[in-house]
Amino acid sequence: MCGILGYIGSKNATPYLLEGLKGLEYRGYDSAGLYVAGQGVIKRSGKVAKLEESIPSDFAGNAGIAHTRWATHGAPTELNAHPHCDQSKTIWLVHNGIIENYLEIREQLLGFGIACATETDSEVLAQLVGHHYAEGVPLEVAVGTALQEVRGAYGIAVASVREPDKLVAARFGSPLMLGIGDDGYYIASDASPLLAHTRNVTYLNDGEMAVLEKDSYEIMNLSRDVLDKKVEVLDWDIESAQKKGYEHFMLKEIMEGPEVIENTLRGRLDIENSTAKLGGLADVEERLKAIKRIIITGCGSAYYAGLVGELLIEEIAGIPVEVEIASELRYRRWTAVPEDTVLIAVSQSGETADTLEAIREAKKQGILTLGVVNAVGSSIARATDAGVYNHAGPEIGVASTKAFISQMTVFVLIALRLRELQNSTAYSNSTQEIIQELTRLPAYIRSILQNKDVVSDIAKRHADMRDALYIGRKFQFPIAYEGALKLKEISYIHAEAYGAGEMKHGPIALIDENFPTIALMPKDSLYEKTRSNIEEIRARGGKIIAVTSGDTQELSKITADIIMIPQTIECLQPILTTIPLQLFAYCVAHERGLPIDMPRNLAKSVTVE
């Protein structure tokens, strides 16, 4: 969604702002713009490349702000693009989030003779700051006063023509961080544009404002009480945020699967003592010993990872779990939630607005909140009481791939930890067996990736399909949903997922020779059942693509399209069946010539509701 950048220091701000805008393209946007002190503003609808073409070579200055906009209020036009200004064109402001009372404020501004020129809620904020920016009032005072009058979510960066050597940034509900470099200070809404300049960062919390000058900065609350903030070191390397020769980030991120699992597991398995260690949960282990119920939440792929987590925790630790989409959970009536309940929020970006709100609701109930988060220092990582980082590295492709397999892996670790903490003698495989198979996962994934051409051939043959059905049972049921989501979001093909056992209850009516079914059927306890389902589909003329570790000879009587995966224990098999589905979606979209890393209408980080 919207991306924010800012720089002030001894260098020319323009190159950082432009490179940064390119680095933020993956988040999804439809217009872009920048303001550089002493030069003015340039905005364009459409791609950053179009903006770049319009920037003269001497467009230089030591301070500036920039923005990629994902339209919410008003069409993606040049007029509605950021930066926005006040009536006197003194204040320039970029905004991420939604100002909920913008209509009310617009009315009030009209009463002061200030008329807005755009359809956006963001301009209202620029005008409001301008209104409070009377002669002699410092920028941060005007910003702090204006922000106390707005409701909603914001991450903002503000520049002033009157004070060209100052920038102000502030946040409430939308991510914003500062990079502290040797040659100046950087503002960014996510870490990736900072990596080439500095590793030292400070995350703004809700209600905080940063005042940046060329040689110094201060962080304060909106009443301007100065705060003592920690500077943290980003441990992501710059290469991991680049394509490394792959045509698309999505393919690169799928191919990183083996290392992602290694990184997620690193230092967390004690093979000798047959136990999993999770440093991020150490402080809450006493509470975890007594928990009786778990609620998992997240959106999209993170929610599907949560559905796998539900099965893992129930199977391995024997604790009852329910999973709810964050956008639903936040609005449910939370009836008498017992205090021995824990909420686990799953999020790659750590910035998803609905997930963050669900956490806030859980906190109101006084229950323990945990995060399974990839982006270190993100809002969800900080909003939760404790948590486990994925260590999957930056995920740039809009479709989540490596984060998803890492999320499932983290759930295995959490389930093992809970099993030990609760002394659970529950079900499923022994801890030793699970740990042993976890360590083999990278090799299994490597072998699937080596057979990428098999998936690619099948994808090419089916690339012109209009619909697809994904089916699976138990651990494969959420993977069916995830596979269907991957296909629809990057290839724009209608795809549905069903529990294989549901076929006879309705969806089998859809089946004909043009409606292929992707059947997830590793050789597990439900293999025979799913095999019966695909027989029924074939009997109605349906084409099958089987993802299996079963008997190829036997399956070849039903279908020629078989994708083999290695055999592991049932609870880890979903991590393996995911990989060919990611490759399949990628290859279909590639065959159809689509913009895989930036599919239409989608944003990487969904920071508004």
Minimum Å gap between C-beta 16 and ligand F6R is: 25
Task: Choose, from 2, 116, 299, 571, the residue flagged as catalytic.
Answer: 2
Minimum Å gap between C-beta 432 and ligand F6R is: 32
The amino acid present at 337, given as its one-letter code, is V
Minimum Å gap between C-beta 608 and ligand F6R is: 12
- Considering the complex, state which of residue 14 and residue 378 has its C-beta at the smaller distance from ligand F6R: 378
Q: List the structure tokens of 263.
A: 């990184």
- Considering the complex, state which of residue 209 and residue 485 has its C-beta at the smaller distance from ligand F6R: 485
CB under 8 Å, gap of 24 or more: what pairs does 139-146 form?
A: 139/163, 139/166, 139/168, 139/211, 140/166, 140/168, 140/209, 140/211, 140/220, 140/224, 141/224, 142/91, 143/168, 143/170, 143/209, 144/170, 144/209, 144/220, 144/222, 144/223, 144/224
Specify the 3-state DSSP secondary structure of 416.
Answer: helix
- Considering the complex, state which of residue 317 and residue 490 has its C-beta at the smaller distance from ligand F6R: 490
Annotation marks residue 299 as catalytic? no
Cα torsion 415, 418, 420, 422 to 10°: value is -140
- Distance, in Å, from the CA atom of 106 to the CA atom of 102, rounded to the nearest integer, reads 6
Minimum Å gap between C-beta 193 and ligand F6R is: 18
Residues that bind ligand F6R (CB under 6 A): 298-302, 347-349, 352, 355, 399-400, 485, 489, 605-606
Going by their DSSP bridges, the two strands 63-69 and 154-160 should be labelled as unpaired
- Distance, in Å, from the CA atom of 547 to the CA atom of 578, rounded to the nearest integer, reads 10
Compute CA distances 13 → 59, 61, 62, 176, 184, whole Å: 9, 6, 5, 18, 10
- Considering the complex, state which of residue 348 and residue 428 has its C-beta at the smaller distance from ligand F6R: 348
Q: List the structure tokens of 402.
A: 């490596």
Q: How many CB atoms lie within 10 A of CB 117?
A: 12
- Considering the complex, state which of residue 397 and residue 542 has its C-beta at the smaller distance from ligand F6R: 397
Minimum Å gap between C-beta 237 and ligand F6R is: 21
- Considering the complex, state which of residue 34 and residue 596 has its C-beta at the smaller distance from ligand F6R: 596
Minimum Å gap between C-beta 403 and ligand F6R is: 6
Tokens 């100046």, located at residue: 184
- Considering the complex, state which of residue 168 and residue 326 has its C-beta at the smaller distance from ligand F6R: 326
Q: Do residues 177 and 201 make contact, with C-beta atoms less than 8 angstroms apart?
A: yes
Q: How many CB atoms lie within 10 A of CB 419?
A: 24
- In the DSSP assignment, the letter for residue 239 is G
Q: List the structure tokens of 383.
A: 């909003």
Annotation marks residue 604 as catalytic? yes
E strand or H helix at 208:
strand 208-213
- Considering the complex, state which of residue 29 and residue 35 has its C-beta at the smaller distance from ligand F6R: 29
List the Cα angle 347/352/357 in 5-degree steps: 105
Orientation of helix 300-317 relative to helix 402-421, angle to 10°: 30
Of 5, 24, 396, 393, nearest to 237 by C-alpha is: 393
Query: Whose CB is nearest to ligand F6R?
Result: 300
**Catalytically active residues, by annotation:** 2, 604
